[in-house]
Amino acid sequence: MVLEGAIAEEVITNNLKQFLLVLSVSLGVATLPQIFSWFRQIPYTLLLVIVGLGLAFADVRLVILSPELILFIFLPPLLFEAAWNLKWSELKRDLVPICLYAVLGVLITIAGVAIALNQFVAVSLTTALLIAASLSATDPVSVTALFRELGVGSRLVTLMEGESLFNDGMAVVAFGFLVSFSLRTVELEFQPILVELFTVVGIGIAVGAFIGFGISYLTQRFDLPLVEQSLTLVSAYGTYLIIEDLGGSGVIGVVTTGLILGNFGSRIGMNPRTRVIVSEFWEFLAFFVNSIVFLLIGDQIRFASVGDNLQIILVTVGAMILMRAVAIFILSKLSTSITKAEITLPDQTILWWGGLRGSVSIALALSVPTILPEREKIIATVFGVVLFTLLVQGLTIKPLLEKLNLLGDAPLREEYLELVARNVALERVLQHLQADKRPGIDPEFRRYQGKLLEGELANLQTKINKLQTEYPNLQSFTTEQFRGELLAIEADTYAEFVKSGRLNKELASLLEDVFQNGYEK
């Protein structure tokens, strides 16, 4: 008994040391762009992959990745954070193309990649299908982070993130079917697959919605920021585990819960301060988890294994890029014919080239049963392809954005907002100076300070007017910001009435109108 306790204690100590080592390296990489300005040209997540590759080359293995570690520990918070921050109004606007990319796009990728592997490098159909299914889910974390940094249009971000959230679930379901087919436990027939697909997705949506709305109405009854923050964390992991146990898609369930809590629950059940606290918590957690995941992706590469399967990897990369192009350009045209809302060719190009693969693909490959004869070939191929998409596609997405003139005006907006903030701050200082009549202050000092403030305010106003004249788009940006503030005030007022019992909770659907429709522009 004592021996078992000592062994358990040793295991815990070693795991803690490994965790702290990974965390230390990740945080060390995070500081590099602050010390060396050149590193700012590389997205943070890709910098982690490169450092991980360096460790792998030196044969330093920090932690052994397992599918359970990715799917049950890393994936739920990443899905929840993305869904929490995804605006339902924007998602609803582009739900048709997102669903087409996430469902038909996955099927096109699986079919095209599997056929190419089977025909060109004589990979068995079973192995080819498993490789294709593993790589059918996109993971554009580094791309969307770059989009936000550069101020790329919100619609492109929504399309990219929305597709990624939903195709993760589709890929996991498809992979499960193909594993069962490989083990000869099911037959690949259309009707049973369709029924099973609707069952898995239906359980995910139903349970996810139940948990999301349940927590939304529960948080109306109290105002405890730390408890409400903890509830969101519990809901992310709890939803995933419960739905997986029920035979549904935990991925779809977490996305559903995150969307409801982010767009509905945080409005009717949380005051503005609590919403900020919870949002900042999830921003930190996503940064924390992504830092570990991308570092470990690089660190897990086995160069010898990748070299042995280089031909298969190259064929897979070519087929995947081709099938991605087929899916994006054809399905975008189909979406336009259905919704009459065109997705521009430059946007389609970025969606095509920005379809990186990441942690979900690796988790699926690692979860291939050990009894399948070509498991190591599947893992090596998937790792090689993921590495290509992260380094080649990930590092070239910014030049492509520049070439297509899709870079936003984020630096300009930041400068404008700083000027506006300073203007408001100095106006408040001037008001305080004029209102404060306390004795003992030299009147000449007051007049001098007042003149300084008035001069600085006049200078700031000149700069603001100049920016607005030179860049007319700032006017619409300012108007949209102000409109968002008005909507937030209205929503907070409804939430206050609901929490105090002066508004029936059935009427909380008013919030949906506020954030979907807003005021007439």
Q: How would you label 129-141 residue by residue, b for 16+ Cβ within 10 Å and e otherwise?
A: bbbbbbbbbbbbb
- CA–CA separation, 495 and 493 (whole Å): 5
Mind listing the pLDDT tens digit of every residue in the chain (521 residues)?
A: 555 556 656 666 766 777 677 777 877 777 777 667 667 677 778 888 888 888 888 877 777 778 888 888 888 998 999 999 888 888 888 999 999 999 999 999 999 999 999 999 999 999 999 999 999 989 887 788 778 777 677 788 899 999 998 888 888 888 888 888 788 766 667 777 788 888 998 999 999 999 999 998 888 888 788 889 999 999 999 999 999 999 899 999 999 999 999 988 888 778 777 888 898 899 889 888 888 888 888 888 888 999 999 999 999 999 999 999 999 999 999 999 999 889 999 999 999 999 999 888 998 998 888 888 888 999 999 999 999 999 999 989 988 988 888 876 666 777 777 888 888 888 888 888 888 777 777 788 888 888 888 888 889 888 888 877 777 666 666 776 777 677 667 767 766 776 666 665 544 455 555 545 554 44
Task: Find the largest Cα–Cα distance for the chain.
Answer: 91
Write the CB contacts of 521 (distance below 8 Å, at least 6 apart in sequence). Answer: 483
- CA–CA separation, 36 and 24 (whole Å): 18
Taking the alpha carbons at both ends of the chain, their separation in whole angstroms is: 72
pLDDT at residue number 411: 66
**pLDDT tens readout for residues 182-236:** 887 666 677 777 888 889 989 999 999 999 999 988 888 887 888 899 999 999 9
- CA–CA separation, 161 and 445 (whole Å): 56
pLDDT at residue number 505: 52
Q: Which has the closest alpha carbon to 153: 399, 401, 325?
A: 401
pLDDT at residue number 188: 65
Q: Which has the closest alpha carbon to 248: 193, 207, 308?
A: 207
- CA–CA separation, 77 and 88 (whole Å): 19
> Measuring CA to CA, how many Å separate 163 from each of 56, 341, 347, 355?
31, 17, 14, 10
pLDDT at residue number 520: 47
**DSSP element (H, E) containing 66:** none
DSSP 8-state symbol, 433:
H
Q: Which two tokens stand for residue 280?
A: 């900042």
pLDDT at residue number 380: 93
DSSP three-state, residue 408: coil
pLDDT at residue number 521: 44
> Measuring CA to CA, how many Å separate 149 from each of 29, 80, 240, 348?
18, 21, 30, 20
